[in-house]
Structure 1
Amino acid sequence: MTDNLFNLHGDVLAAMRRGPKHFTKLVFVLSEADEPADTELSHFRDRIAAAGPGDELSALWHRTLTTWDLAEQADWSTAPPRTDARRTDTYNRLGFGADLRKALDEAVPVFKEPGPTVISKEFASWYSRDSAAARSFYWNSYEQLLRRKGWSDAAVAGLDEASHAVVERLSDPTRTEAYGARGLVVGYVQSGKTANFTGVAAKAMDAGYRLVIVLGGTLNLLRGQTQRRLDMELIGQENILRGADPSDPDALVGIDYQDDEDWPAKFVTHGHRPFNIERLTTRDDDYRSLRQGIGALEIEKREKHLPLYVPDNLHRAAARVMVVKKNKSVLTNLVKDLKKIGPILREIPTLIIDDESDQASVNTSDPKKWESGRTQRTAINGLISQLLGLLPRAQYVGYTATPFANVFIDPSDGEDIFPRDFLISLPRPVGYMGVQDFHDLDGEGTAEETHVRGIYDDTGDRLQEAMDAFILTGALKLYRADRGVPEGPFRHHTMLVHESVKMDDHADLALRINTLWHQAGYTSHEGHARLEKLLADDFAHHADADLPTPSAYADLRPYVSRARQLINSGGNPVVVVNGDTDRYFSQIDLDFDRTPNVWKILVGGTKLSRGFTVKGLTVTYYRRTTRQADTLMQMGRWFGFRPGYRDLVRLYIGREEPLTKTQTVDLYEAFEAICRDEETFRSQLSRYAALVDGKPQVTPAQVPPLVSQHLPWIKPSGRNKMFNAELVEIRSPGQWVEPTAYPTDGADLRHNAEVWRPVLDSLGSIPVTLTCSSIEHGRNDSYEALIGTIDHAALLKVLRDLRWSAPSLFSPHLESLITAGESGSGIDDWLVITPQQTSARRTEATILGSRPLSLAHRVRRRGDLFGAISEPKHRGVALRVAGASEDSGDPLVESLVRERRGALVLYPVVESEPRLAADGSIDPRHMVMAFSLVAPKSSAANGTSLVRFRTIDSGRKDFAIIDRPDDGA
């Protein structure tokens, strides 16, 4: 039975991907005899119910049902994917009864984790499931390899769906008119983006793309790692060896994997292939020029009088693949060579995959410095633009975990890489260890207690403790491997130390770590006592109950000795990974693929902080500061997959690190803030992803990405990547907000006074005394004021109608009040406070028939901008009413406090001695209705601050990128 099943597996699975049919129409091998009775539902039900672990029939149905559950587009079901309703539709089409449904549901639970979020333009349908199945050689090979690597059915089906979503949005490679799609795929740091673009490349080549250019980061380290991954999992042995005589040992000497630990056993083999893949770069050699001559890209056509993209030519031609570094000289050589190739260049369906697309690829030149309206581009951006121009059939797909720089690209720049066609946010993968595992974002849980060890001034640097944790976790891995943990043996075991980007600092730190190591006494009684205490106090307390962990240190002690020997191999536990070649770096070639075991403490900066996978990473010691969110996020190498040892992962991180001479920052808090920024971005995409009547609501160019900034000191990206960013919201619950950009035109001033009339009418007629005791400042602020209340909707109408000398300065605050009003934890109403002077020199006036109000004298300091409007003594009460401070000590003030109430302080301002009419009124054209406000601290999740940005579209300057669906105006 097993042999028959495997022989039919590919055909059966391909047929079943097209959707379920009635069981009697499906051909399954249920016994070696292959009797007709084998296809009876009763027999099948009995087989499924009796199936044990490893049963091949059960495995096939597990695979197939999961594929149907996850299919994003299913013409046989209107139910959403990943739901019980979708599974019910499947069973109905199969004709399964209740007993069989129950048996299958127990064997194959519905996978309900979220799928990818897609924002897309409408596109011509050319890559259906049928057409994909018809040409799927390299994809099928890749899929089978992933299963051999231990990927679950859900993980493979999820990758299938996500990569299909990319390829179907590319242009049909056989299309007559040239079109180049632009897209962006957003993943998580260390979450498997390479697997996704490998799947995309496999499917694209199967479909007819014949030139694949992978821009593999800016470092040789990352480019080489990416080349090897594609060679191993996609290109395969036959294509690597193509042109060499396998029987000739001398011919194989030049193969770049002859000293690779995994060659050839773990490199995919293809056998007979429908077309070859030719590598234009190798593991060690980046693109210099076409070694085989320009003819390497002069693709031979079977029908010479017809274009290459005609199916008879296209599907018989070999594909070319190159992995190139984003380096000026490398890309210049590539562009130079392509220009020599001739007319066929315009016929080649090309896929450009840009790994880490927010790095180097984005144009960071300042638009204000462009000459005579001409776009000036930075080097790499300009070369990518040239590539796209030379290859009109080139599709560009960027991949990144930090997309902020990419979404700030001008959508109207047709030669740039803005994802105008699609933007896909990949889901958090199953088994991935990410932000939720290190931060208790909902305020509950034990993530921080389990994995995070803070470095404070009063804890000392904890470096020795981190090193102890490293040797102890190495011993625990060896202990588990000896007891049959499926993920063992653990080939690599690493610790990352990241404090600085400076090479001199790396050398000093390596020397210090080396000294600490040799003074740690890991063979002495004191050293073992220290490790025993760490095991008892930390690792035993947080150990995974499903994994073997010794109850006594004595059982672990032999493994400690073995771990120490592995880490100290060569006499040095430290490897410096940077551009220098000092004596520490020369001790070992940091190549996780060619080296049998890397058990080392890695000290580095940039080379270890973007894209490059640090394998076996278990202990991280991190203290480097930066003001850029995307840079900080890319340093989170501790995110990733940790099978068999996720409970051992520890992060030692600075909680009081100097940012300036007078300011310290909490790096753990910073990571949490930027992770919230990222999740906010993803949730904004989800808001617009649902189709309406089968069509996209909006395109990527219309979506306001609303990139968030939860901490004021850390920006979403570098300043040179944010020239095209517009500030749209400043959410500051519980914080004093004081606008100063009021108009000067008399008509505008009168308009504003008219707008404020409902607020003035809400004020009481008798002044009250408000008091707020400030223990912190040792003050007891007290003043008289007229007060009243106004509901949030009424105040929003006032604020929306105001005129400003610089509207953009207040609009981000207004946007936050609008969104707060929409949220469940928003704002009900506002206490309006109009301070009244008691001095004999006070000036009072009525405004448009209001009660007499005290006028405040203020002056403009910079152009149309005032200096300070408010008085410090007025702030305490407002902050208390908004829930941003403790008890005021005043019963009246406390009676005014509400959970969802904000405070607004109104100041009628004059800039010179006022001229009052005989009835005591003032002409509104000669005064400014100024104000300050404090939104309730409860009006945002966790009471946190937030800043959000969106992209400026130069082609749509006169209106917002997208209308708010609930504006109503």
Structure 2
Amino acid sequence: MTDQLLDLHFDVLASMQRGGPSHFTKRAFAFSDDLEPNEVDISRFMERLLAASPGDELLVLWHRTLTAWDFDENAKWSPAPARTDERRADAYTRLGFGEDLCKALDSAFPVFKEPGTVVISKEFAPWYTRENAATRAFYWKAYERLLRGKGWSDTAVSGLDQAAHSVVERLSDPTREEAYGARGLVVGYVQSGKTANFTGVTAKAIDAGYRLVIVLGGTLNLLRGQTQRRLDMELIGQENILRGADPGDPDALVGIDYQDDEDWPHKFVSHSGRPSARGAFDIERLTTREDDYRRLLNGIRALEFEKHDRTRPLYDPVNLHDAAARIMVVKKNKTVLSNLVDDLRKIGPLLSEIPALIIDDESDQASINTIDPKKWEAGKVTRTAINSLITDLLGLLPRAQYVGYTATPFANVFVDPGDEEDIFPRDFLISLPRPSEYMGVQDFHDLDSPVPREDRTVANSKEKAHVRGIKKSTGDLLQEAMDAFVLSGALKAYRAAKGTPEGPFRHHTMLVHESVRTDDHSALADRLTAMWDNARYTGTEGHARLSALFDSDFAPVSAAQAADLPTPATYDELRPYVSRARQLINAGGGPVIVVNGDSDSYFAQLNLDFDRTPNVWKILVGGTKLSRGFTVEGLTITYYRRTTQQADTLMQMGRWFGFRPGYRDLVRLYIGREELIGKSKTVDLYEAFEAICLDEELFRAELTRYAPLVDGKPQVTPAQIPPLVAQHLPWVKPSARNKMFNAELVEVRSPGHPIEPAAYPRDSTATARNTERWQSILARLSGSSVTCRLQPDSTTPLPRSFQAATTVVPHAHLLGVLSSLEWEGGNVLAPHLTYLSQLDGRLARVDDWLVIAPHRTERHRIEAALLGHGPFSLFRRSRQPGKGSFGRISGVEHRSYGQRLIDQDYIGSADHSSSTMGLHRGVVLLYPVVEAETDAEVKAIAASGTADASQVIMAFTVIPPRAAIDSKRQLVRFKAKDSSRPDAALVNATDS
């Protein structure tokens, strides 16, 4: 039976696709020729909305439509920000909906308010509007249908739509007369779905008119083949792969590269016929799953585009939109890229007519020019092989747009912006949001947790739930990690049998990563194999170990973290599934696979293709080859102890990050807590990851802060990102060499936001001088003691308090102290001091500062006098591994307290109530810090009751009042310099 109400609403909402919401009832009457008046009445919609089941197609339609309007970052029909109640209210007003219907819709479909993409961009000429995108959307619509068929939510699809749109609109208009090649960078999270984004970008770009897409897909054919398959399956589709062959004719299918793929053809997108026969255009593959780019005649002929009007260039709309698109996925390999470049050179003038898109996956790997500038030839840039070939490609294709993708962006943003031929993201840098179902660093660390460490449990602590050490008094925990692998596999099998929506779990893996040495890998594999053989998983001893681990670890964690998923009440209930897990792990030659080769032939013989192999249930042993690009599917248990001192390398090793549907409570990370570096230095790997996470989140937070336009213009352009990184993250060791930048950071305004420098001097003499400069404030603090109370809120569920010494100092006094301090590696505080020094006017002024020197809890308190004042609590902090600075200085409770005072919503002790703060008082959190690994070292310094000034770093966090901003809303200010002329003087300061 026809659902007339659904059909009506579908037609009405489709008519609003280009221009946004408009009066629903008026539009409905235009489609109501065959309907009764009561069927157009909006009250019928209200009745259905209130009575409908969750799967009602009418509800699905409205959820999808409202979400798309909520997410649209460039909605011309509404001035309200995306993802806000105000944007939704604007939509309801334009629809002409009454209050009751609005409430019902909000109840059924709440506004999704999680952050979206963050864009740092130069100004650009708008061309890819929502209206234009809706007009040509053949491949995007097909991709969107496929994603929804895979179970993607409306918010996930709309989020991807908006993120991909943000990229494409900043590319050059493919039909423009003057050639221009944009350069951009998209920053995601490690194993967080970047491929989905660039597939969406490719779909939208070819719909818009880009006719040659080159994807640089990894350094191994296995990785390249995975990317090719993904694009073939989700974008190119059955009909373009078959190229007109009859799918029912076995002879016609000979040579098709997916005949042995269990997902062919039912999981490959279908366009319901040849796209060119449906008013669209075909896609021709210049590479296949098995074959990388081939040379000479095939390559040249493949780029012979048909033109309706041969007197006009290909990019003319008359020719462009009917021409077939070409897509190739190539390795970042010198031979392959050289072949491609050589062939393109032979094609000649046509290249200048082709709108092309180059997507560089893992763009900080191999693509960056890492040759030291000191070794360049006179007057000429000397490049690494892959970087040189990429710049050759960009030079041969003047209409080529370059978009790099990475999860570790620092190498890319340190590329020289003055090198016009290189791949610096001069036009845009886009930071993708953290997906809602993603497990990343934040899911293994208790960042900003208000719960005291001694009160943390598997219910309120991510570390307690997922992280385990690798050592115990009797040896290491490798056997326990293997037991956890078997036990979690059994739990997956149990859940699959109980009908968990995410099951069956196709792959189940464990990663053991201890060393980069191949000899070590072989020895470790032998040890693991012997351990497996002696584990007695079919006997009493093995079952006793698994039962104990289930009772002490997996059962309580699953009860606390995944109460909605099937979990057996006892080990006896799980025991039958242990046998199944053991069989799957042991099948096909044993439980262990060593992954440490660097050739395609090596990976081919491993039989480790997760796409083609039905079930990979294995323990993988490896090093660098498992630390980038290679996605370990079904990874559940990780045993990790390898160290490195480079931030991006360390982050890329986090293979345990990713999506874990139906088993995130089973994920365990066994990680080294103290490892030797050199002869004496130890590093806590777990804490190192936490430090890198804080670095990364601060970088993303800075991008978010400076992304909003001011008076319609960007506050920050991509060329100004390097000095922001250098100033705000002075401890980041760039993975590529530092070059000249074309902007120097002059001022950073931080009204209501913490300023927390971390690069304190290593030199003890400089430390002593810095400490002495705080002496007048230490004298004011000496002898005072107040109770600082935190009342419960969403971040602090229970009342908390701490003791502190406090005083109030005039603005000029504090500024004098801060201005006199010395720093490691230059004055990292200078841009902030420029701002603070201006806060003495009538509008943007600070009268004084509340200085708070917190005490540690009585249980952990270590006190000492300092320069004859005090005593003060001494805090222990460590510098980040391989870097010159500390991690976070301020404690979570202390910073929350100070921030609440600034935010004027504090309810606490009479000493510091909001009524006494006022609009013109800031907060300083002051910490006497001892650089030490253990409290015992701190106690030794405080043993005499007086601490040596040369051993105490006076670390601090400054939070200016929110009112400390003048009429200029610009948060950053730069001086510009031309990095292509290193000797040029600085030009006038700009606010661009």
Aligned to 1:467: 482
Aligned to 2:124: 123
Name which of structure 1's ranges 168-177 and 361-370 shifts more when overlaid on structure 2: 361-370
Using a 3 Å threshold, how does the CA distance of structure 1 residues 937 and 693 change in structure 2: closer, same or farther? same
Instruction: Give deviations 1:926-958, integer Å, cap 9, x for gaps.
Output: xxxxx98966445289xxxxxxx9999624866
Kindly state the Cα deviation for residue 882 of structure 1 after the two structures are TM-superposed. Answer: 7.6
The alignment status of 1:137 with 2:153, answered yes or no, reads: no
Query: Does structure 2 retain, via aligned residues, the 8 Å contact 1:883–1:938?
Result: no
In 2, the alpha carbon distance for the partners of 1:504 and 1:879 equals 58
Query: Unaligned 5+ residue runs, structure 1?
Result: 742-751, 769-787, 832-873, 887-897, 905-930, 942-948
The alignment status of 1:484 with 2:496, answered yes or no, reads: no
Instruction: Give deviations 1:195-231, integer Å, cap 9, x for gaps.
Output: 0100000000000000000111222222111111000
Aligned to 2:661: 643
Using a 3 Å threshold, how does the CA distance of structure 1 residues 790 and 86 change in structure 2: closer, same or farther? closer
In 1, the alpha carbon distance for the partners of 2:34 and 2:264 equals 40
Aligned to 2:884: none
**Identical-pair percentage:** 65
Query: Does structure 2 retain, via aligned residues, the 8 Å contact 1:703–1:961?
Result: no
Aligned to 1:731: 757
Instruction: Give deviations 1:864-920, integer Å, cap 9, x for gaps.
Output: xxxxxxxxxx9964997885459xxxxxxxxxxx9845789xxxxxxxxxxxxxxxx
Name which of structure 1's ranges 366-375 and 533-542 shifts more when overlaid on structure 2: 366-375
Using a 3 Å threshold, how does the CA distance of structure 1 residues 293 and 186 change in structure 2: closer, same or farther? closer
Aligned to 1:281: 287
The alignment status of 1:547 with 2:565, answered yes or no, reads: yes
SS of equivalent residue, structure 2 residue 556? coil
Aligned to 1:358: 364
The alignment status of 1:497 with 2:512, answered yes or no, reads: yes
Instruction: Give deviations 1:448-491, integer Å, cap 9, x for gaps.
Output: 00000122464632111111111111111111111111111111
Aligned to 2:204: 203
Query: Does structure 1 retain, via aligned residues, the 8 Å contact 2:186–2:430?
Result: yes
Aligned to 1:618: 636
Superposition map of 1:428-467 within 5 A: 428-444=434-450, 445-456=460-471, 458=473, 460-467=475-482
Q: Give the alignment partner of residue 521 of structure 2, picking from 489, 497, 506.
A: 506
Using a 3 Å threshold, how does the CA distance of structure 1 residues 817 and 503 change in structure 2: closer, same or farther? farther
Kindly state the Cα deviation for residue 731 of structure 1 after the two structures are TM-superposed. Answer: 3.2
Using a 3 Å threshold, how does the CA distance of structure 1 residues 216 and 27 change in structure 2: closer, same or farther? farther
Kindly state the Cα deviation for residue 10 of structure 1 after the two structures are TM-superposed. Answer: 8.9
Superposition map of 1:27-42 within 5 A: 27=28, 34-42=35-43
Aligned to 2:403: 397
In 1, the alpha carbon distance for the partners of 2:542 and 2:775 equals 76
Using a 3 Å threshold, how does the CA distance of structure 1 residues 879 and 764 change in structure 2: closer, same or farther? closer
SS of equivalent residue, structure 1 residue 321? strand
In 1, the alpha carbon distance for the partners of 2:432 and 2:778 equals 55
In 1, the alpha carbon distance for the partners of 2:161 and 2:38 equals 34
Residue identity in the other structure for 1:811: N
Instruction: Give deviations 1:74-121, integer Å, cap 9, x for gaps.
Output: 111111111111111111111111111111111101000001111111
Query: Does structure 2 retain, via aligned residues, the 8 Å contact 1:437–1:447?
Result: yes
Kindly state the Cα deviation for residue 604 of structure 1 after the two structures are TM-superposed. Answer: 1.9
Aligned to 2:607: 589
Query: Does structure 1 retain, via aligned residues, the 8 Å contact 2:481–2:639?
Result: yes
Using a 3 Å threshold, how does the CA distance of structure 1 residues 965 and 63 change in structure 2: closer, same or farther? same
CA RMSD in angstroms, aligned pairs only: 4.1
Kindly state the Cα deviation for residue 545 of structure 1 after the two structures are TM-superposed. Answer: 0.5
SS of equivalent residue, structure 1 residue 664? strand
User: How many residue pairs get matched?
Assistant: 839
Kindly state the Cα deviation for residue 62 of structure 1 after the two structures are TM-superposed. Answer: 0.6
Instruction: Give deviations 1:3-48, integer Å, cap 9, x for gaps.
Output: 7758995994473363111111445999998544222111111011
Residue identity in the other structure for 2:585: I
Kindly state the Cα deviation for residue 504 of structure 1 after the two structures are TM-superposed. Answer: 2.1
Q: Give the alignment partner of residue 683 of structure 1, picking from 667, 690, 701.
A: 701
In 2, the alpha carbon distance for the partners of 1:399 and 1:264 equals 29
Residue identity in the other structure for 1:812: V
Aligned to 1:537: 552
Residue identity in the other structure for 1:252: L
Residue identity in the other structure for 2:555: A
Query: Does structure 1 retain, via aligned residues, the 8 Å contact 2:715–2:991?
Result: no
Q: Give the alignment partner of residue 557 of structure 1, picking from 544, 568, 575.
A: 575
Kindly state the Cα deviation for residue 248 of structure 1 after the two structures are TM-superposed. Answer: 4.4
Name which of structure 1's ranges 874-883 and 245-254 shifts more when overlaid on structure 2: 874-883
Instruction: Give deviations 1:737-789, integer Å, cap 9, x for gaps.
Output: 66879xxxxxxxxxx9xxx9x98998999xx9xxxxxxxxxxxxxxxxxxx99
Using a 3 Å threshold, how does the CA distance of structure 1 residues 878 and 440 change in structure 2: closer, same or farther? farther
SS of equivalent residue, structure 1 residue 731? coil
Query: Unaligned 5+ residue runs, structure 2?
Result: 451-459, 746-754, 783-806, 840-844, 854-863, 877-922, 930-948, 960-973
The alignment status of 1:334 with 2:360, answered yes or no, reads: no
Superposition map of 1:789-868 within 5 A: 793-794=812-813, 796=815, 809-812=825-828, 814=830
Query: Does structure 2 retain, via aligned residues, the 8 Å contact 1:735–1:884?
Result: no
Structure of greater Rg: 1
The alignment status of 1:301 with 2:307, answered yes or no, reads: yes
Superposition map of 1:267-278 within 5 A: 267-270=268-271, 271-273=273-275, 274-278=280-284
Query: Does structure 1 retain, via aligned residues, the 8 Å contact 2:470–2:478?
Result: no
Using a 3 Å threshold, how does the CA distance of structure 1 residues 878 and 528 change in structure 2: closer, same or farther? farther
Using a 3 Å threshold, how does the CA distance of structure 1 residues 582 and 615 change in structure 2: closer, same or farther? closer
Kindly state the Cα deviation for residue 379 of structure 1 after the two structures are TM-superposed. Answer: 1.0
In 1, the alpha carbon distance for the partners of 2:538 and 2:84 equals 56
Using a 3 Å threshold, how does the CA distance of structure 1 residues 11 and 334 change in structure 2: closer, same or farther? farther
SS of equivalent residue, structure 1 residue 494? strand
Kindly state the Cα deviation for residue 496 of structure 1 after the two structures are TM-superposed. Answer: 1.2
In 1, the alpha carbon distance for the partners of 2:33 and 2:615 equals 45
SS of equivalent residue, structure 1 residue 651? strand
Using a 3 Å threshold, how does the CA distance of structure 1 residues 933 and 737 change in structure 2: closer, same or farther? farther
Query: Does structure 2 retain, via aligned residues, the 8 Å contact 1:120–1:700?
Result: yes
Kindly state the Cα deviation for residue 715 of structure 1 after the two structures are TM-superposed. Answer: 5.0
Kindly state the Cα deviation for residue 685 of structure 1 after the two structures are TM-superposed. Answer: 0.8
SS of equivalent residue, structure 2 residue 504? coil
Aligned to 1:630: 648
The alignment status of 1:86 with 2:102, answered yes or no, reads: no
Query: Does structure 2 retain, via aligned residues, the 8 Å contact 1:278–1:318?
Result: yes
Q: Give the alignment partner of residue 408 of structure 1, picking from 383, 408, 414.
A: 414
Aligned to 1:520: 535
Kindly state the Cα deviation for residue 680 of structure 1 after the two structures are TM-superposed. Answer: 0.7
Query: Does structure 2 retain, via aligned residues, the 8 Å contact 1:481–1:488?
Result: yes
SS of equivalent residue, structure 2 residue 411? helix
In 2, the alpha carbon distance for the partners of 1:41 and 1:259 equals 53
Instruction: Give deviations 1:513-554, integer Å, cap 9, x for gaps.
Output: 111111100000110111111111001101110111001111
Aligned to 2:969: none
Residue identity in the other structure for 2:263: D
TM-score, length-scaled by structure 1: 0.79
Using a 3 Å threshold, how does the CA distance of structure 1 residues 575 and 881 change in structure 2: closer, same or farther? same
SS of equivalent residue, structure 2 residue 719? coil
In 2, the alpha carbon distance for the partners of 1:30 and 1:616 equals 50
Kindly state the Cα deviation for residue 433 of structure 1 after the two structures are TM-superposed. Answer: 1.1
SS of equivalent residue, structure 2 residue 557? coil
Using a 3 Å threshold, how does the CA distance of structure 1 residues 882 and 598 change in structure 2: closer, same or farther? same
Query: Does structure 2 retain, via aligned residues, the 8 Å contact 1:189–1:633?
Result: yes
In 2, the alpha carbon distance for the partners of 1:670 and 1:764 equals 32
SS of equivalent residue, structure 2 residue 284? strand
In 1, the alpha carbon distance for the partners of 2:824 and 2:978 equals 16
In 2, the alpha carbon distance for the partners of 1:329 and 1:381 equals 13
Using a 3 Å threshold, how does the CA distance of structure 1 residues 395 and 2 change in structure 2: closer, same or farther? farther
Query: Does structure 1 retain, via aligned residues, the 8 Å contact 2:516–2:624?
Result: yes
